[in-house]
Amino acid sequence: MSETAEKQSYDFRTIEAKWLPFWVQDGTFVVDPADERPQKYVCDMFPYPSGDLHMGHAEAFAIGDVAARYARLRGYNVLHPIGWDSFGLPAENAAIKNNAHPAEWTYTNIETQAASFKRYGISADWSTRLHTSDPEYYRWTQWLFLKFYEQGLAYRKDSPVNWCPSCQTVLANEQVVGEGVCDRCGTPVTKKALNQWYFKITDYADRLLDDMDQLKGAWPERVLAMQRNWIGRSEGAHVDFPVEGGHTVTVFTTRPDTIFGATFFVVAADADLAAQLVTEEQRAALEEYREQLKSVSEIERQSADRKKTGVFLGVHATNPATGAKMPVYATDYVLADYGTGAVMGVPGQDQRDWEFAKAFDLPIVRTVQPPAEFEGEAFTGEGPAINSANSEISLDGLEVEEAKARIIDWLESKGAGRATTNYRLRDWLLSRQRFWGAPIPVIHCPDCGEVPVPEDQLPVQLPTEAKGEDLRPKGKSPLAGLNDWVTVDCPACGATATRDTDTMDTFVDSSWYYLRYVDPKNTQAPFDVEKVNARLPVDQYVGGVEHAILHLLYSRFFTKVLYDMGLVNFTEPFKALMNQGQVLNGGKAMSKSLGNGVDLAEQMDEYGVDAVRLTMVFASPPADDVDWADVSPAASQKFLGRAWRLAQDVTSAPGTDPAAGAAGLRAITHRTIADAQSLLDDQKYNVVIARIMELVNAARKEIDSGAGAGDPAVREAAEVTAQILSLVAPYTAEDMWQMLGHDPSVANSAWPAYEESLLVEDTVTAVVQVKGKLRDKLEVPADISAEDLEAQALALPKIQRYIEEDGGVRKVIVRAPKLVNVVTG
C-alpha cells in the first residue's frame, strides 16, 4: 500500500463479494490427483438437507475447516470433501404435504445448503460432492448390501421388533431413545412381530470392542465409553438345565458360582421357548398372561420398580449342581433377545430374582456370605461362598472369582456348561417401511424364494412417478402399493415375482460415504480400492456426539466387513474423532417451541461470515457448547477490522527482510507462530485466536507508538496474522494477504516458520517465594546460574525481612532462571 492511497474502512460485504467467486474460479481447494505430498483426510459428518444451514452446522463446519486449512498450510495434500445424507423421512412428509416427489424437496434444500456452504467459506473440494439419494450412489449401497448378503451378514428373521405407530415403521434398537420412545417423533414404541432384514453386526462385537484400543486418546473418551456400554460384553457361562418333557434349556449367567442358590427357573414370556415348555394344562394360563402383557407399554415394562409377574408353566427343571427340582415360570422380566431368553433364578444373589421369589413364595438360599452389617435383600457383593457343595465339588469358602472358575470347570467336565461371552448388542435391523431410501435389492419368487437382484441390474431405482398420497405410510412400505414397480420377473427362473418393498435404514447410506468421497464418480465399483487405501483412514473426523453409537458404530462395522472382503486395508475408518459442542441460546438448545432460534443467514448478513466463524471458534474449546447469548459476533467483527487495518497500514515492500525489524515485535510474532502450531496440533482452537489477538495488539502498538508502520517487523506480524487468521476468517485473511502484496490464495501459502533464536529471551522474570508464597520478583539474564540467582534472591530487602521474621533460612530451592523458593524457620 502506498502512503498516498486512500484508506478504506473494513467492509466485510465488499471483501466477501470479491473473494467468493475467486476461490471458485481458481479451484483453490480442488485436490490435484498428481499431488505427491503427504496426505491428510479431514472430513465433517455430512449434513442432512433439512432446510438451510443452521447455527449447529456453522459451529461444526467452522471447526472442521480449521483442521483442514491448517493441514493445507502445513503442506499436506488435503482432502476435505462435501456431500449430503439425502435419504430420509422428512422428505417424504414434505412430499405428502405438497403432493410432490421427495426428490423435489430434497434437491431444492441441497442447492440452498450448497450455496450457504460456499458463502460460509468452507474449503471443500466440490468435485467430491455426492448425495446418497442419487441412483449413482445408492446403486453401490445396494451392491454392498448384496456383498453382505453373500456372506450371510444380511439376513431376514421373524422377531418382535420396535414399531413406531406414528411413523408406521420399524426402528433399530439404536433409534429407540429415552424411556422407550421413537427418536423422531417421541411416540412410545411398541413391539410387533415382523419379518425384517438385519445386518449381523453381532458377529463383529468382539472386534468392535477390542479395536477401540486403536482409538484411545484420538476419540473422545465418552464416545468410546458409550460404544463399550452399547456392545455390553459380559463374561459368564452357559449352563444347561434339563426340563421335564425332554427339553434341555441353556441359560446365560455371569454368576455361575451362585448356581447352588438357583431355586427356580424363568424364561421370557414372549419367546417361543415358553410355548414349547408349557404343559397342556397350563397353556391357557400362559396365553392369558401373554395377552395381559400386550397391554403393558414398553415404558411401564421397563420400569424397575414394577412388581414381578409371571406364570407357572407346569414343568420343572433340574439344577445340575444340586439335583433339585426347580419350577419353571414365564415372565416379562426376562428379555427374549438377551442371552438365551432363559435365566436361572438365584434370589439370594440377584435383586430381581429376590423380588420374583417373594412374589411367588419360592425358597431363597444364600450362597455368598454377606458381611455382618448387611441388611439388604439379595446380596450382590463380594464374599466367600456358602451352601455351595455337592458330593463332587465344594465352592464353600472361595471368593467369587475363584468360585466361578471352579464351577465352570466342573460344569464342563459334566458336559453341563461352559464359559461364554454374551453381548448386549443386537443385530442391526436395517429394513424400513419407508419410501425415500435405497430399495433392498432382493426379489421374492414363489418358486425360488429370496433371489438377490443381479449386479448388472443395479440400481433398483425408486419409482419417479410416485407422489403425495402414494407415499403415506400404511403399515407397510409405500412401495408395496405401487404394483408396476413391485411386479418383476424372477432373475433366476423368469416366473412372475415381487420386489422386496422395504428400503434401507439411512444409516446404511452413511456407513460408507467417506469411502466414496475419494472416488465419487466411479461407475464400475463403489470406489477404487487403491485410491481408498491410499487416502484412508480419515485422519480427522468431525461431528456431533449424537452419533456416538449409531453412525460411528455402524461405520466401524462396515469398515471391518469391507476389510474382511479385501476391499480396504484398514480396520478402523476414523483415526481421530472430534465432537463439536452444540450451539445454545440462553442455556438451551435452539428450538421453534422455545422461540430462541438464531438464524445463521441473518447473523452472516449482520456481522459477516468471518465474524460468525471467528465467534464460533473463539467462544470455547471445540468440544464445548457455545451459548450464543454469551458471545459477541460484533466484537469478532471489530477484531477482524483491527487485523485487516494492520495489513492496510503496512508501508514496507513485500519481500522486505524482517531481520532489521523491531526485535520486540519479532519475538512476539515468532512466539505466536510456535504457540499457534502446538495449540493447533492440540486442537485448542479458541486459544489460537487469543494468541492472534495478542499479536495484532502488539503490532498495532508498534505502529502507533513504536517503530511505525514502515518497520519490517510490522509487515512480518501482519503476514503471520493473515496466515493464521485464514484458518477461521478466510475472507478477511485473503484480503489482507493481497493488500500485503502477495498472490492469492493465502490458504495455499506455506505455514510460517518460526526462528528458534527469536524465541530465546535475554532476560526473564524470576519469582521469589518464601515458603511457597510469592514475595518478590527479579529481572535476571535468562542464562543466570543457580548460584547467582539464589544470591540475588536472598539479597532482596523484602526477602531479607521475611528471613529475619521467620527465623533464618532452612533450605533454598532454585529453578534457574524462573524461580527461587526460600524455606525459612
* Positions in 438-497 near RNA (CB under 7 A): none
641 binds RNA (CB under 7 A): yes
Tell me if 582 contacts RNA by CB under 7 A. Answer: no
**Do 158 and 135 meet the contact criterion of CB atoms below 8 Å apart?**
no
Ranges within 121-140 binding RNA (CB under 7 A): none
CB of 244 to RNA, least distance (A): 22
Is residue 771 a contact residue for RNA (CB under 7 A)? yes
State which of residues 86, 253, 656, 723 lies at the interface with RNA (CB under 7 A).
253
Least CB distance from residue 596 to RNA, whole Å?
A: 16
Of 32 and 756, which has the nearer Cβ to RNA? Answer: 756
Question: Which H or E element spans position 248?
Answer: strand 247-253
Amino acid, single-letter form, for residue 780: V
Q: Is 145 in the site for RNA (CB under 7 A)?
A: no
Smallest distance from RNA to CB 650, Å:
17
Nearest distance, CB of residue 748 and RNA, angstroms? 27
The answer to the question of residue 377 lying near RNA (CB under 7 A) is no
366 near RNA, rule: CB under 7 A: no
Distance separating alpha carbons of residues 387 and 281, to the nearest angstrom: 35
> CB of residue 287 vs RNA: minimum separation in angstroms?
19
Q: Which one of residues 37, 157, 222, 588 is an interface residue with RNA (CB under 7 A)?
A: 222
Considering the rule CB under 7 A, would residue 250 count as an interface residue with RNA?
A: no
- How many CB atoms are located within 10 Å of the residue 246 CB? 6
* Residue 821 interacts with RNA (CB under 7 A): yes or no: yes
388 makes contact with RNA (CB under 7 A): no
Q: Could you write out the DSSP letters of every residue in 336-377?
A: TTSTTSEEEE-TTT-HHHHHHHHHHT------B---TT--SS
DSSP of 477-519, one letter per residue? -GGGG-HHHHEEE-TTT--EEEE---EE-HHHHTTSHHHHTTS
CB 298 within 8 A of CB 177: no
d(CA 398, CA 408): 14
Of 127-135, 361-369, 412-420, 615-623: span binding RNA (CB under 7 A): 615-623
Q: Does 352 bind RNA (CB under 7 A)?
A: yes
Check: CB of residue 779 under 8 Å from CB of residue 694. no
Residue 765 near RNA by CB under 7 A:
yes
- Contact between 163 and RNA per CB under 7 A: no
Radius of gyration of the chain (CA): 34
Using CB under 7 A as the binding rule, the residues of this chain from 192 to 221 that contact RNA are: 221
- Residue 588 parent element (H or E): strand 588-589
| C-alpha to C-alpha distance for 22 and 735, rounded to whole angstroms | 11
Instruction: List all residues 6 or more positions away from 724 whose beta carbon is below 8 Å from its beta carbon.
Output: 672, 673, 676, 688, 691, 692
CA atoms within 13 A on the CB side of 605: 5
In angstroms, what is the minimal distance from the CB of 603 to RNA? 16
Rounded to a whole number of angstroms, the minimum distance from the CB of residue 72 to RNA is 24
Q: Which is nearer to RNA, 37 or 222 (CB)?
A: 222
Q: Which parts of 688-717 interact with RNA (CB under 7 A)?
A: 689-690, 693-694, 697, 700-701, 704
Q: Which of residues 549-568 bind RNA (CB under 7 A)?
A: 549
> Considering only residues 392-421, where is the footprint of RNA by CB under 7 A?
none
Determine, following the binding rule CB under 7 A, whether residue 521 of this chain makes contact with RNA. Answer: no
Q: What is the DSSP letter of 74?
A: T
Q: Which is nearer to RNA, 477 or 732 (by Cβ)?
A: 732
Helix (H) or strand (E) holding 444: strand 442-445
Question: Candidates 85-93, 448-456, 507-515, 817-825 — which segment interacts with RNA by CB under 7 A?
Answer: 817-825
Query: Residue 495 contacts by C-beta under 8 Å, 6 or more apart in sequence?
Result: 445, 446, 447, 448, 489
Pairing outcome for strands 487-489 and 449-452: unpaired
Choose, by CB under 7 A, the member of 147, 418, 638, 742 that binds RNA: 638
| 350 is an interface residue for RNA by CB under 7 A | yes
Least separation, in Å, of the C-beta of 333 and RNA? 4
Q: Work out which of 118, 424, 444, 742 binds RNA, going by CB under 7 A.
A: 424
Residue from 430, 443, 565 nearest 497 by CA: 443
What residues are paired with 198 via a beta bridge? Answer: 155, 429
CB of 338 to RNA, least distance (A): 4
**Is 234 an interacting residue with respect to RNA (CB under 7 A)?**
yes
Q: Which stretch binds RNA (CB under 7 A): 63-71, 110-118, 155-163, 632-640?
A: 632-640
User: What is the total count of residues that contact RNA (CB under 7 A)?
Assistant: 82
CA 346 – CA 573 distance, rounded (Å): 43
Residue 612 is a binding residue for RNA (CB under 7 A): no
Indicate which single residue of 155, 338, 563, 570 sits in contact with RNA (rule: CB under 7 A). Answer: 338
**332 is a contact residue toward RNA (CB under 7 A):** yes
Does 767 contact RNA by CB under 7 A? yes
- Minimum gap (Å) between residue 624 Cβ and RNA: 4
CA separation for the pair 459, 503 (Å, rounded): 13
- The residue within the footprint of RNA, chosen from 642, 741, 776, 809 (CB under 7 A), is 642
588 binds RNA per the rule CB under 7 A: no
Tell which residue, 760, 759, 756, 776, has the closest CA to residue 768.
776
Query: Does residue 671 bind RNA (CB under 7 A)?
Result: no
Which residue in 266, 240, 290 sits closest to 354, CA to CA? 266
